[in-house]
Structure formats: structure tokens, C-alpha cells
Amino acid sequence: MTIQTRRERERAERERLIVTAARELAEAEGWDAVTTRRLAAEIEYSQPVLYSHFKGKDAIMAAVAVQGCADLAAELRAARTAAGGIRESLAAVAQTYTSFAQRRPALYDAMFTHLVDLPFATEEAPAPLWDAFGELLLAVEPIAAEGDDPGLLTETFWACLHGLATLTRSGRLPEGAHESRLALLVGHFAG
Amino acid sequence: MTIQTRRERERAERERLIVTAARELAEAEGWDAVTTRRLAAEIEYSQPVLYSHFKGKDAIMAAVAVQGCADLAAELRAARTAAGGIRESLAAVAQTYTSFAQRRPALYDAMFTHLVDLPFATEEAPAPLWDAFGELLLAVEPIAAEGDDPGLLTETFWACLHGLATLTRSGRLPEGAHESRLALLVGHFAG
DNA sequence: CCCTGATTCTAGCATCGCTAGCGATTCTGT
DNA sequence: ACAGAATCGCTAGCGATGCTAGAATCAGGG
């Protein structure tokens, strides 16, 4: 039995290694640089081992995305709990969210831009996804008017943040005025 | 001289053909199906002619994106002028925008999701881009509070629509409640 | 009629994601 | 302890991608 468990432990460790290497490589040089050959070289194994762990490159990206959601959830939680009032919490969360997208673009893309076959809005969604959404929910809930569904409001607010993050990062919105737009958004939701 | 002009005319015609074929193929089967070989076959020329017109596949996508902006601008204009009041115009424009993204996903991706080296927020941006933004501006301007920069507010509202469109289409937001989220957004901006 | 210049095509390169099939290594049963 | 069996990772290769170099073809001018 212990041999079996050691095998599984080593295997799990290697899987972790793959995901970590993929994330670091993506964050350093972008997802285009994350080829299966390059990734295999990075973990010092041959290409086909990747496919014994994941169905394909997309599945690896999905695993990275789940990790990223955990990171984002942690950052959001820290920002929210550090903020004072209701409106301040919302502003802090919004600021942290867009900052995350700008600081870690490759990670953000894997999470929310790249088309990936992760269950999202269902119960089968991985826990870190729910955690991240939950953090947004905790910040948005207090500003919901009576009769509003907080979940729906959170989804809407999230979408707004996502739009600001992606359009700004792709150069479709001038970067300089980002803070102003963020303030405008928070004002319209919490005002 | 007339020979020269005929040559140029034919060349321009072929360029138009390339962009149209690319757009139709993308809308029919998605951008993954738009390979240079497939596209060349579609226009009944060989592959390298594409590169005598465009720098590469990305440039072709950019050309398609500009066409798409013209289409979007036209749809937005129709929706806005058909609507009655200020709030109704905003709602109609929002509805039309997200509907466009859902009805023509490949086109929308080329315009606003795919990373493309088009000048966007500068004066060198192609006219259709400004037209589309201008339509949004005309709908948003009336609901701007005094002291608000209408341009900035439009950018923000646009980002919200973009976020809703992309997250819904990628399955990250449940599709059923889309209208509710749209109403929530319009309510928070025009309320 | 041949030459010159532009234009288009054939053929190929490097790289991509992914897979089949072999060799070696490790476990199992007697 | 040792032979058979099963698992594991590797080498090699497939089809397809974006893109390019050089041959071939066609037009116009002396």
C-alpha cells in the first residue's frame, strides 16, 4: 500500500510541477511561449508525460486558471477586509481586481478570457472559482437595494470590472484614465 | 495610366474579396477554421497572395474587425434612433450591443477580444471605430451628470457591456439571466 | 520578336499539439 | 530468488499551422 501511495504522491507532485511551470512560463513570456515542448523541457520530462496528466494544453491552462482564482480570491479578501466602510470595500475590491488583471495578464487571460472548458456558473465549478466570486459577492451585497438579487448584482458588477480590465489592457481604452473610469463605475453602483 | 488604375482597381477588389471571405468563414465556422490555406482556396488564389495584401493573418483579422465596427455602428444607430426617450435609447443600445456580440461572436472577437495591433484610443484609429464609439456616446451623453466627462462615462459603460457580452458568451455567466443583468446595468447608469 | 519587369504559384521551412509503439523498469506470484 | 506481467516514460513521427524563398508565368515596350 505505501508503495502505491508513494507513487501517487510523486505523481501528484509532478502534476503540481507542471501547473506551476506553466503558470510561471506564461506569466514570464505569455501563453504563446507555453508550448508543450517548452513546458516538457521546463519540468525535465518528455512531452508525452503531459498528456498522462492532462487531456491537452487547454486542460493545463484550466488548471492554471483555477490556481489563479485562488490567488485572486486571496487578494480580494485582503483588500476587502482592510477597507473601512461599505463603499470603501467595494472600491478596494474593484481596484484590486483590475490591478490583478494588469499585473498578471497571462493568469487573468487563462481565468476569464481564454475559452476553456471549465464549468463556471454551475455547482461543479471548482471551489476557488466560487471563492473568488464569493469575495466579490461579500463586497457587493451591502450595496444591493432591497428587492435586488445580490448574486445577479454581483455578476453584473463583475462583468463591468472584467470589461474595464480587458479593454484597458488590450489598449482599447486609454490607460491613463483607468482610475477615473473605476471611480465612475463604483459611484454608479454604490452611489 | 488607365492600365495602372485598372490594376489597382482589380487589386483593391481582390483585397475586399479576402476580407469578405475571411469574415464569412469566421462567422460560419469560427476563427480557428480561418487558416491561410483555407482562405486562399476560398478566394481561388494561392496562399502567398494573402501576404502581398496583408502583413499576416492578424492584419486580415484587423481588417475584418474594422468592417465589423461599421456594422455595429449601423445597428447601434438604428436602435438608438428608433427608441423613444433617453433611458429607452440607452437600454436599446445596450440590448443591441450585447445582441450583436451574441449573434456574431467571431466578428465581435476580432473587434474587441483578439489582441490586434489596431490603433484604438488614438486619432489614427479607423473611422468605423470612432463611429461605433460615437453611437455609444450619443446614447450615454444625455444621462451624464453635470461635471461628468461624457467620453469617460461612455468608455465605462462600454466596458460594462463588453464584460457582460464576453462573460456571458464564454459560459462564465448563466445565459438565462442576461436580460436581468442588462436591466440592472442600465438602471444603475440611467437611474 | 525578344527582352524586361512585375506578379503569381510551387515547394518547403520551422513549429505547433498530439499519439503510436517500443524499451526499460518495477511489481507480482510461485 | 527468479520469471512473467504490467506499468511507465521515451523516441519518433503525423498532420496542420503561419509564413517565405525562388521558380515560373504573364504582361508591356523597344
CATH code of domain A1-53: 1.10.10.60
Taking the CA of residue A56 and the C1' sugar atom of nucleotide C22, their distance in angstroms comes to 23
Give the residue nearest to nucleotide C19 (CA to C1'): A48
Contact B162 A167 (CB under 8 A): yes
Per-residue pLDDT tens for B44-86?
999 999 999 999 999 999 999 999 999 999 999 999 999 989 9
- Burial of B32 (C-beta count, 10 Å sphere; 0-12/13-18/19+): exposed
- Reading the block at residue A49, the C-alpha cell is 508525460
Average pLDDT over every residue of B163-173: 97
Contact B188 A188 (CB under 8 A): yes
Taking the CA of residue A63 and the C1' sugar atom of nucleotide D7, their distance in angstroms comes to 26
Nucleotide of closest approach to B3 (CA, C1'): D28
Closest CA to A184 of B187, B154, B91, B153: B153
By percentage, how much of chain B surpasses pLDDT 70? Answer: 97
* B171: closest CA of chain A, how far (Å): 7
Contact A185 B148 (CB under 8 A): no
CB pairs under 8 A between A and B: 103
* B63: closest CA of chain A, how far (Å): 16
**Segment among A70-74, A102-106, A114-118 with least mean pLDDT:** A114-118
- What local confidence, expressed as pLDDT, does residue A3 receive? 64
- What local confidence, expressed as pLDDT, does residue A79 receive? 98
- What local confidence, expressed as pLDDT, does residue A176 receive? 95
Phi-psi region of A126 (alpha: psi -120 to 50; beta: other; left: phi over 0): beta
Per CATH, domain A58-190 is 1.10.357.10: yes
Tell me: pLDDT of B13 over 60: yes
Domain ranges in chain A are: 1-53, 58-190
DSSP 8-state class, residue B121? S
**Segment among A2-16, A169-183, B118-132 with least mean pLDDT:** A2-16
Tell me: pLDDT of B1 over 60: no
Nucleotide of closest approach to B46 (CA, C1'): C9
Residues of B with CB below 8 A from A168's CB? 159
Which one of A114, A162, A180 makes the best mutation probe of the B interface by having the most chain B beta carbons within 10 Å?
A162
Closest CA to A171 of B112, B110, B31, B64: B112
CATH code of domain B62-190: 1.10.357.10
- Burial of A9 (C-beta count, 10 Å sphere; 0-12/13-18/19+): exposed
* CA atoms of B182 and B94, how far apart (whole Å): 7
Answer with the residue of higher pLDDT: B1 or A76: A76
**A174 and chain B in contact, CB less than 8 A:** yes
Residues of A with CB below 8 A from B166's CB? 113, 162-163, 166
* CA atoms of B41 and B38, how far apart (whole Å): 5
- What local confidence, expressed as pLDDT, does residue A9 receive? 85
- What local confidence, expressed as pLDDT, does residue B8 receive? 74
Query: Mean pLDDT across chain A, nearest whole number?
Result: 95
Average pLDDT over every residue of B27-42: 97
From the list B121, B170, B172, the residue facing A173 with the nearest CB is B121
- The two domains B1-53 and B62-190 share their CATH topology (first three levels equal): no
> How many CB atoms neighbour CB B114 within 10 A?
16
Per-residue pLDDT tens for B115-124?
777 888 888 9
Confidence of residue A25 (pLDDT cuts 50, 70, 90): very high
Nucleotide of closest approach to A33 (CA, C1'): C16
Contact residues for strand D with beta carbon within 7 Å = A 7, 11, 14, 45-49, 52; B 3, 34-38, 47-48, 51, 56-58
